[in-house]
Amino acid sequence: MLYSSSYEHVEKLAHEIEAGAREAGAPADVKRVPELSISEGRQGSQLQARPDDFAEYDAIVVGTGTRFGRMSSQMASFLDQAGGLWAKGALQGKVGRAFQHGGQETTRFTIITNSLHFGMTVVGLKYGFAGQMKVDEITGGAPYGATTIAALDAQRQPSENELAGARYQVRAIAETAAKPHG
pLDDT-based confidence at 43, cuts 50/70/90?
low
pLDDT-based confidence at 8, cuts 50/70/90?
confident
Residue 33 in this model has a pLDDT that exceeds 90: yes
Q: Which residues contact 71 (CB under 8 A, 6 or more apart)?
A: 4, 64, 79, 100, 107, 110, 111
Per residue in 147-166, pLDDT tens? Answer: 888 878 888 889 999 999 99
Residues in the chain: 182
Amino acid (1-letter code) at residue 41: G
* Average pLDDT for 38-56: 75
CA–CA gap between residue 17 and residue 59 (Å, rounded): 12
Categorise residue 29: left if φ over 0, alpha if ψ from -120 to 50, beta otherwise.
beta
Residue 101 has what pLDDT?
A: 62
Compute how many other C-beta atoms are within 10 angstroms of the C-beta atom of residue 128. 10
Among residues of the chain, what percentage have pLDDT more than 90? 58
* Average pLDDT for 83-102: 90
pLDDT-based confidence at 106, cuts 50/70/90?
confident
